[in-house]
Amino acid sequence: MYHPGGFGGGNDDPPLRSPKRRDPSVWKPIFFMVSFLFGWVFCFLVGINLGLGWYAWPFGSLMLASGFIVYVFFLYRDRKISGREN
């Protein structure tokens, strides 16, 4: 806590204020979730059109999950190649 004339070499300047933290945007996760839902519905409808019947919903889920895994794989691979790996 700041106290004028206290310890610190006689400097009576008030402490520097740290910049306010900026909250991340809420639109990015909302867009991601809505696009995720539309992607699942698209895969589900493709499964229905292929004649899978009740097996269309697992088909949509598997296609969406495999697409996510492929995306993460390429994201990790690009980071490893560019040298930005932790």
pTM of the model: 0.52
- At residue 54's C-alpha, the angle toward residues 49 and 60, to 5°, is 65
Separation of alpha carbons 44 and 55, rounded Å:
9
Taking alpha carbons only, the member of 4, 68, 2, 7 closest to residue 36 is 68
- Helices (H), strands (E): how many in the chain? 2, 0
Q: Dihedrals φ, ψ of 84, to 5°?
A: -95, 20
Sorted by where each begins, the domain ranges of the chain are 27-82
Q: pLDDT tens, position by position, for the chain (86 residues)?
A: 556 665 655 555 555 666 677 888 889 889 988 988 898 888 888 888 988 888 888 888 888 888 889 888 888 887 766 665 55
